[in-house]
Structure 1
Amino acid sequence: MLAITIDLVPGGYESHRRTIGSMRIANRSDLADVSDYSVEIMEAANALTGGGPRNAACIVERHDRRQSVWALLEKACAEILKAEFVEL
């Protein structure tokens, strides 16, 4: 499983660091060369947009595992943007 955490560090001040999102990507295909992945995200409330905390889930299908981790992350981000979000 991949676990990605997105932290905001306003102005580079570590004392103000806060987590604004996270993503979990799990292989569903027993580590096959071409695999499917479950993706789950959580997003913190966003004062800039006025949105509350929310989460979503999706599937990435037929990813070639010989590619860079960044290729999988790109696909996961593209799919999650199409997902139905649940406001918490």
Structure 2
Amino acid sequence: MLIITIDLVPGGYESFRRTIGSMRIANVTNLADVSDYEVDVIEGANPLVGTRARNARCTVERHDRRQAVWALLAKAADEATRAKFEELRSPEKE
């Protein structure tokens, strides 16, 4: 499994660093040379545009594992861009 974490570091100030997204990419075809993957994505809330935290699930199919890891990440990011996201519920509203 690959786990990608995206941190925002405003102005390069590490003290303001915060995670704004993450992605988990899991091979579901027993590490075959050409594999399929499940991709889970979480985005943090974005107060600048007024969106809540949300998540999505998508797949990458028939990826040639002999390619660089960046090729898989690019495919997963492309699928995530088109995925149907669901807003996460805030604990205070339950």
Task: Judge same fold: TM > 0.5, yes or no.
Answer: yes
Counterparts of 1:50 and 1:68 in 2: how far apart (Å)? 36
The residue number in structure 2 matching 1:63 is 63
Distance 1:52 1:64 in 2: 35
State the distance in 2 between where 1:43 and 1:85 align. Answer: 9
1:81 deviates by 1.1
Residues paired across the two proteins, number: 88
In the other structure, the counterpart of 1:54 is 54
Q: In 2, distance between residues paired with 1:34 and 1:18?
A: 35
Matched residues, percent identical?
70
Q: Equivalent residue for 1:73?
A: 73
Report SS of the residue matched to 1:30. coil
Structure 1 runs not aligned, ≥5 long: none
Instruction: Give the secondary structure class of the aligned counterpart of 2:3.
Output: strand
Residue 37 of structure 1, CA deviation: 0.2
Higher Cα Rg, which structure: 2
| TM-score (normalised: structure 2) | 0.92
* TM-score normalised by length of structure 1: 0.98
CA RMSD across the alignment: 0.5
* Corresponding residue for residue 17 of structure 2: 17
Question: How many angstroms apart in 2 are the aligned matches of 1:10 and 1:80?
Answer: 24
